[in-house]
């Protein structure tokens, strides 16, 4: 079904592994990770630009280092690779944090490409997210298959904070939000374990496990007045909706995805708790989390795997954005959804 398709971006070179939506200069921008670049799509003008990211590490004549005084050499080979990113607008600048294979986490000005923060986080960056603490952005990252998360403040000299180990394997899903006035994160891993984190206290709030597969998508939302965590089990494709604080199971939705789920987001749209999922086969689905059932027919059009999904607003109407292997961002209308 394609009648909910609002628009699709022009095709870009390479797979879109991740993206984030920000509001800048009065309109939305979609920052996309295309492995070796961060490309920015303006959905109103359907215009692409490439962020001129500068090398995030310093060459001391023998190796790349995080700072002149830092003897810990990051795993950087001179080629910028961005497979995961987070983006915020702070002090009038669009900041993008990301990393990838052999590129530890760094923070850039997305417009000028200037390096705002270097880190010595070792290993490939699998997932990145951004949150706000006392009016300042903080960034979360997990390296390759390591089962831990670190919080990196924006300030170059501020040390990172490693969260306690909770996961039994590599972290494959990460999202951030706010609860009761403070920043939260939710993470999921290959071993099927989900953790909800109080970022101010740097401690685990609650956790739970899915039944069979790995967790490939997580989100924070509400069902009615209840704050919830949503987790997507990749295979057999089950959505778990749990109460945020206690972790108690509210509902379990068996999806009809025929391939593994790799993309998830959730939000309240018109008073209704909605989730969007995308799978390896390119199919996108909408879900009513309160009723525990699908909304409408499958949304088709993507060729290949859908890696990321996000619910946002475009031109005053709610939409879902999806992207992945076919190098296009698709925008789906979420207004006037069927019951």
Cβ burial 246-260 (10 Å sphere, 16+ → b, else e): ebeebbebebebebb
Cα–Cα distance measured from residue 57 to residue 70, given in angstroms and rounded to the nearest whole number? 11
- Amino acid 8: pLDDT: 95
Q: Is the dihedral of CA 178, 179, 183, 185 positive or negative?
A: negative
Q: Each residue's pLDDT tens digit in the chain (339 positions)?
A: 668 999 999 998 889 999 999 999 878 999 999 877 899 999 999 999 999 999 888 777 666 776 665 555 566 777 888 999 999 999 999 999 998 877 888 999 999 999 999 887 666 788 999 999 999 999 999 877 678 899 999 998 898 999 999 998 889 999 999 999 999 999 999 999 999 999 999 999 999 999 988 999 999 999 999 999 999 998 878 999 999 988 999 999 999 888 899 999 999 999 999 999 999 999 999 999 999 999 999 999 999 999 999 999 998 899 999 999 999 999 999 999 998
Q: How many residues does the chain have?
A: 339
Vertex 333: Cα angle to 325 and 265 (nearest 5)? 55
In angstroms, rounded to a whole number, what is the distance separating the alpha carbons of residues 302 and 262?
A: 14
Q: What is the DSSP letter of 6?
A: E
Query: What's the pLDDT score for residue 124?
Result: 73
Q: Is-contact 107 97, C-beta < 8 A?
A: yes
Q: What phi and psi values does residue 166 have, to the nearest 5 degrees?
A: -130, -35
**Residue 1: predicted pLDDT:** 60
How is residue 82 annotated by DSSP? B
């Amino acid at each position: 079904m394609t009648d909910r398709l609002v628009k699709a971006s022009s095709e870009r070179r390479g797979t879109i592994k991740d993206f984030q939506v920000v509001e800048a200069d009065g309109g939305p921008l979609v920052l996309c990770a295309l492995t070796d670049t961060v490309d920015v799509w303006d959905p109103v003008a359907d215009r692409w630009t490439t962020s001129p990211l500068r090398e995030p590490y310093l060459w001391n004549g023998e190796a790349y280092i995080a700072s002149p005084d830092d003897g810990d050499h990051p795993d950087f080979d001179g080629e910028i690779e961005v497979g995961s990113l987070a983006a915020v607008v702070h002090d009038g600048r669009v900041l993008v944090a990301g990393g990838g294979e052999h590129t530890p986490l760094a923070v850039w000005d997305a417009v000028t490409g200037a390096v705002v923060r270097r880190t010595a986080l070792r290993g490939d960056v699998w997932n990145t997210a951004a949150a706000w603490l006392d009016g300042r952005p903080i960034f979360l990252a997990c390296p390759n298959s390591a089962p831990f998360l670190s919080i990196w403040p924006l300030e170059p000299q501020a040390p990172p904070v490693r969260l306690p180990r909770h996961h039994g394997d590599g972290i494959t899903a990460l999202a951030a939000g706010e609860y009761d006035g403070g920043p939260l994160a939710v993470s999921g891993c290959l071993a099927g374990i989900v953790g909800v984190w109080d970022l101010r206290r740097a401690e685990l709030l609650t956790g739970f496990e899915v039944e069979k597969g790995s967790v490939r998508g997580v989100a924070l939302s509400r069902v009615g007045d209840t704050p919830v965590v949503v987790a997507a089990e990749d295979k057999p494709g089950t959505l778990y909706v749990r109460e945020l604080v206690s972790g108690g199971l509210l509902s379990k939705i068996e999806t009809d995805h025929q391939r593994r789920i790799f993309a998830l987001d959730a939000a309240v749209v018109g008073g209704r708790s909605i989730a969007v999922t995308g799978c390896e086969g390119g199919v996108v689905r909408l879900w009513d989390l309160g009723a525990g059932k699908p909304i409408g027919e499958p949304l088709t059009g993507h060729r290949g795997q859908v890696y990321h999904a996000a619910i946002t607003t475009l031109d005053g109407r709610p939409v879902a954005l999806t992207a992945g292997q076919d190098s296009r961002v698709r925008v789906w209308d979420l207004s006037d959804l069927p019951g």
